[in-house]
Amino acid sequence: MGWNSLDDMDLNGKRVLVRVDINVPVEDGRVTDDTRIRRIAPTIADIRAKGGSAIMLAHFGRPKGKVVPELSLKPLVPALEAAFGTSVTFIERPSREAIDALPADAIVLVENTRFSAMEEANDPQMAGFLATLGDIYCNDAFSAAHRAHASTEGVAKLLPNCAGRLMQAELTALESALGQPERPVTAVVGGAKVSTKLELLGNLVAKVDNLVIGGGMANTFLAAQGIDVGKSLCEHDMTGTAVEILEKANTAGCTIVLPTDVVVAREFKAGADNETVAADACPADAMILDAGPATVEAVAEVLAASKTLIWNGPMGAFEITPFDAATNAAASKAAELTKAGTLTSVAGGGDTVAALNQAGAAESFTYISTAGGAFLEWMEGKTLPGVAALEK
């Protein structure tokens, strides 16, 4: 572990700057999903239990360096108070004097950091100002750790720093999945396009034992092998790249699992008439919308023989029935193996979380990352500035 946790810090009497991600959906001034807020509650509670006060720094939306009243963090205060079980003080223009005038165990929410253009520019002046507001810096926003901003990276270098409980859980889970994993390691990667996950696929084939490719990107890999995929979503201009990935996997000893049978339909809508055919027998007027039962069985066998699973992206058009079957079945198998204690399962990415929740499997996974871009960049093998800044 190359970073400090809250357990390594003396917080008694200290003002702790906590970078959080509370970029939550709001409608008519009310938070409609408080998941991200609830996930930072343990960090805030621990800081107060150790005698410190929490000064929360956060962004909201994309104000692009200007004050946009509709993107103020103030409407989030009631949801924060409900999650924390205590009052939260909102400060529009923070100063150390204003913060020191508050009780020793106060919880403070500072206005949207992105109201200043210096935030996203990682301006040393803003980082220096933020450092005056606290004695210790705690980053609990893994989902913003891929951004080198003043509140995620700049200020971390100016104060004694540590990871919050959510960041700690995230880093621990990711280290167990790709850093020092128990083998065999299997990655399930789905989604629409190969082009959006090129670096991800290139990094994974060198690190995992099995790579299951699903969703629309599987069609591109099938096409790369000379298979006619009909009217399916397919990046025909990426077939050369798909061949390169297949060759790289072969050299690295990584087994790539592609659909051997597929579910096809003529319409992209729920309940559309469909049939299951061999992967190389898609009718010219049809499109592949899911992996078939034989493929699901093969994936289940790979999962059963694995010790570690990393999952990003659905295996089919999971948004519409019955083309969610492969994703649901594979997710259920992974959940079953995880509950049995034979598999460590880590998943992340927006569509992934939605798909696993829909399958009723999310709660049984070892760890579900709510981060999107940061999770993907970590899987791509990139250094995340917000994490690197915490390195001892």
Known binding residues for substrate are: 21-23, 36, 59-62, 114, 147
Sign of CA dihedral 370, 373, 375, 376: positive
Residue 184 near residue 344 (C-beta atoms within 8 A): no
d(CA 261, CA 267): 19
In degrees, rounded to 5, the angle at the alpha carbon of residue 63 between the alpha carbons of residues 57 and 64 is 100
Active site residues: 36, 193, 350, 373
Would you list which residues are annotated within the binding site for (2R)-3-phosphoglycerate? 36, 114, 147
Cα–chain-centroid distance for residue 187?
Answer: 15
Look up residue 128 and give its two tokens.
Answer: 């220096």
The residues, ordered by sequence, that sit 6+ positions from 200 with a Cβ below 8 Å of its Cβ are 189, 312, 376, 379, 380
d(CA 157, CA 149): 12
Residue 16 near residue 55 (C-beta atoms within 8 A): yes
